[in-house]
Amino acid sequence: MNKQHAIALLCGAVAVASAARYWSTPARAQAAPPSPPAVVVNTVVAVVRDVPVVLRANGTVTPSSEVDLHAQTTSLVKQVHIREGQFVKEGQLLFSLDERAERAGVERAQAQVMRDEAALAGLELRYGRSMELLEKQFIAINAVDTLRSEVDAQRALLRAGQAALRAATVGASYNTIRAPMAGRVGAITVYPGSLVQVSTLLATVTRIDPIAVAFTLPESNVGELLAAHQRGAVAVEANHRSGTLSFIDNRVDPVAGSIRVKASFENGDAGMWPGQYVDARVTVRTLRSAVVIPQAAMITSPAGTFVYVVGPDQTVAQVEVTRLHAFGSNAAVTGLAGSETIVTEGKQNLKPGARVKAGRG
C-alpha cells in the first residue's frame, strides 16, 4: 500500500467516526420561553352578614311641642309663681293676674241668678195655685195662660242669667295662667305689677320629653322610606340614642328636591336640647345574608362592574358583581358566594388568567 492510499483511508475513517458520533448524539430541545412573574396583590375574603340600609342626614333637635303663654285679658300681674328655666307639670300655676274686677262680675252674675231663681219660684207657686182655682172654676183660663207664659219667660231669663254667670266665671279664670303641658319654662318677660295685654308674651313652655329631630331626605329616598314606614316602626339613631320615625311630610319640596321628616326620642335625662345639630341615621331595611366586599375591589368599565377572584391555582378570573348598597368603604353585592378571595390592590396590573402572589392582607 502506497503512502497516498493510506492517507485516504485514514481520512475516511475519521469522517465515518464523526458522522457516527453526530447521529448517536440526541438533538437538543428548543428552550421554552420564561413564564411571566406573579403579580403581587393584596386580597381579602368576601364575608356574608346582615347589612342595614341606612339613610343619613343632618338634623336639628326640636321640641315635640312649644306653647307661648299670653294673657287673654288686659290686667296687672299679681304674682309670678315660677322661675326661668324651671320644669313644670301640666296644670301647674304659673301666673296670677289682678282678678278684682272679674270677681266682682262673678258676684254680680251670681246675684242676678239668685234673683231670677226667686222670681221663678214665686211665679211657679202662683201658677200652681191658679191651676187649683181653675179646676174649681174660680178663675178664667186666660189668667192661667198668662201665668204660664210668665213662668216660661222667667225660666228663660234664669237660663240667660246662668249663662252670664258661666261667662263671668270663665273670664275670671283667665286671671290664673297654668301650664298647658309638662315642660321647661323659658325666659319670663313680666314681673309682679306689669301691665299685660293679649299681645304680651309672658313666657314659653317647651316640652322636651319626648323630643324630636327634624331633618330632610332626598326625594330619591321617598319610595323606600314610605315602604319602611308601612312595614312598621322605622328605627332612627341620633346623638347615640335610638328613636322612631314619627312624621313624613305629605309633599316633596320641588325647589330643594327633598322631603321633611321627624323622629321622636325619649329624653328624660335632657341629653338632647332644642337647637342642637345631630347626625340622623334612618334604617329603612336590612339586607339579610348579604355578601360584603371592599368597594376598592370593584372595577367599573363600560361592560359593567367586576372584581378579580383568586382561584386555587393562584390565577385570577373576572367575576361580574352588582352593587346593592354602599356603606363606608364596603358594599353589599350580588354575584359572589361569600367565601371568595378578592383582589383589592394591584388589580390595575392584572388580566384574566394572570398569576398572583399575595402581599399584605
Q: Which domain holds residue 319?
A: 40-50+289-358
CA distance 232 to 328: 27
Same domain, 82 and 200: yes
- Picking from 267, 287, 307, the residue at the C-terminal end of a domain is 287
Same domain, 198 and 211: no
Number of domains in the chain: 4
Same domain, 209 and 278: yes
State the pTM of this model: 0.66
Same domain, 245 and 142: no
Looking at residue 159, which CATH number applies to its domain? 1.10.287
Same domain, 242 and 309: no
Residue 35 maps to a domain: no
Looking at residue 346, which CATH number applies to its domain? 2.40.420.20
Residue 190 maps to a domain: yes
Residue 153 maps to a domain: yes
Same domain, 92 and 179: yes
- Picking from 151, 172, 193, the residue at the C-terminal end of a domain is 172
Residue 33 maps to a domain: no
Same domain, 179 and 89: yes
Same domain, 119 and 135: yes
pLDDT in tens, the chain (361 residues): 454 554 444 445 444 444 445 444 444 445 556 667 888 999 999 999 999 999 999 999 999 899 999 999 999 999 999 999 999 999 999 999 999 988 999 999 999 999 999 998 988 888 888 887 777 777 788 887 888 888 899 999 999 999 999 999 998 999 999 999 999 999 999 999 999 999 999 999 999 999 999 999 999 999 999 999 999 999 999 989 999 999 999 999 999 999 999 999 999 898 999 999 999 999 999 999 999 999 999 999 888 999 999 999 999 999 999 999 998 899 999 999 988 999 999 888 889 999 998 875 4
